[in-house]
Amino acid sequence: MKRMLSGIKPTGQLHLGNYIGALRHFVDYQDEYEMFAFIANLHCITVPQDPAELQKNLKDCVALYLACGLDPSKATIFLQTDVPQHAQLGYIMCCHTYMGELNRMTQFKDKQAHGETNLSGGLYTYPSLMAADILLYDPDYVPVGDDQKQHVELTRDLAIRMNNRYGDLFRVPEPLVAKTGARIMSLSNPEKKMSKSDETNKGCIYLLDSEKVARKKVMSAVTDSLGRVHFDPVNQPGISNLMQILSSLQDDRSMADIEQEFEGKGYGDFKRAVADAVCGKLNEIQTRYNEIISSGLIETTLDDGAAKARKIAAVKLEKVQRAIGMEIIEK
Ligand code: AMP
Ligand code: TRP
């Protein structure tokens, strides 16, 4: 069975973009692959966090992973800091990453270009840590949104560099970007990605939003004046985004099929259908979330997951340190 690994960084509440772009795919993958899914809490603190809020987001994130259908008997689910080898290999990877490479990473560059000040060293070197997260487990595939592809490319470069220098240490992984739903856009500004950093909060549907709030966000989504439900992300970005959402929530139904259903109908009807699909999905997820959140399942899932992950990670870290010449005692 091929191995797959992905991390999720819950610096805020999980939203529909996370579900469509990442979570729902994990659920499909767990049957086909040996799946490792971890909560990237080290990555969370690369930007300032409120401790109480961070802890709530982390716990909610695990609960939502499980509520969306990730099954701890199939997938290994763990918290990054429960496996200290991530930080350890992260440092080693950092020492093998050129500053020129980090300077080219768009996430940091974008924040800098926006004039954000007091950016942390952790944020700058985070792609090296992400490489460690991946390479510890020798996955074949890393499913990511398109914004993360560059980081997986760097991971590949680092793996090849170290394999050439020290001998065969790492499997060189492939990024896996889902063709549909890789980029769900903000409902209030369809030129921008749906994101928790949405200033107005109107463009982002959180998985724990009430039905009323979620419905209102969909019904007030920005559209256009063309008045036809047609998939054309350039000229009708708002409508195309809503179509993308509907398609993703209805088994990747084709755009042609959606166009046909809404031919001659107004945007009001179309938005109501999208709102129904979104609220139906949120209701399903929230029902399970409420069962899980205080059931003890989160704790046992993380304990079991970390124990399994640590075994693999410890062997890999030891192998790397030995190859580099850092170890003295024979183990
Ligand atoms: P983030 O919330 O940005 O840390 O992203 C967590 C995961 O969800 C990553 O795999 C992202 O690529 C994915 N993701 C985040 N926002 C979106 C979005 N608007 N559309 C599709 N996927 C997304
Ligand atoms: N950087 C990813 C994000 O922002 C999260 C992440 C951390 C990750 N480590 C990873 C994703 C390893 C895939 C593999 O979404």
CATH topology match: 3-182+296-324 vs 211-290: no
By the 8 A CB rule, do 159 and 131 touch? yes
The pTM of the whole model exceeds 0.85: yes
Of 196, 202, 216, 265, catalytic: 196
Q: What are phi and psi of 76, to 5 degrees?
A: -95, 115
pLDDT value for 182: 66
HSE-CB for 305 with a 13 A CA cutoff: 28
Q: What is the mean pLDDT of residues 16-24?
A: 90
* pLDDT higher than 90, residue 12: no
Domain boundaries defined on the chain: 3-182+296-324, 211-290
Q: Is the CATH code 1.10.240.10 the one for domain 211-290?
A: yes
Q: Identify the band that residue 196 occupies on the pLDDT scale cut at 50, 70 and 90.
A: confident
By the 8 A CB rule, do 159 and 124 touch? no
Whose Cα sits closest to atom 18 in ligand 1?
17
Structure tokens that stand for 43 in this block: 């990555």
pLDDT in tens, 52-105: 999 999 999 999 999 999 999 999 999 999 999 999 999 999 999 999 999 999
Quick one: CATH architecture of 3-182+296-324? 3-Layer(aba) Sandwich (3.40)
Q: Identify the band that residue 11 occupies on the pLDDT scale cut at 50, 70 and 90.
A: confident
Instruction: Name all residues whose Cβ lies below 6 A of ligand 1.
Output: 8-9, 17-18, 20-22, 144-145, 147-148, 182-184, 193-195
The residue type found at 105 is: M
Q: What are phi and psi of 216, to 5 degrees?
A: -65, -40
CA of 136 to the centre of ligand 1 (A): 23
Ligand with the closest atom to the CA of 65 = 1
pLDDT value for 317: 98
Ligand 1 atom with least separation from CA of 146: 12
212 is catalytic: no
Residue carrying the six token digits 């059931």 = 295
281 is catalytic: no
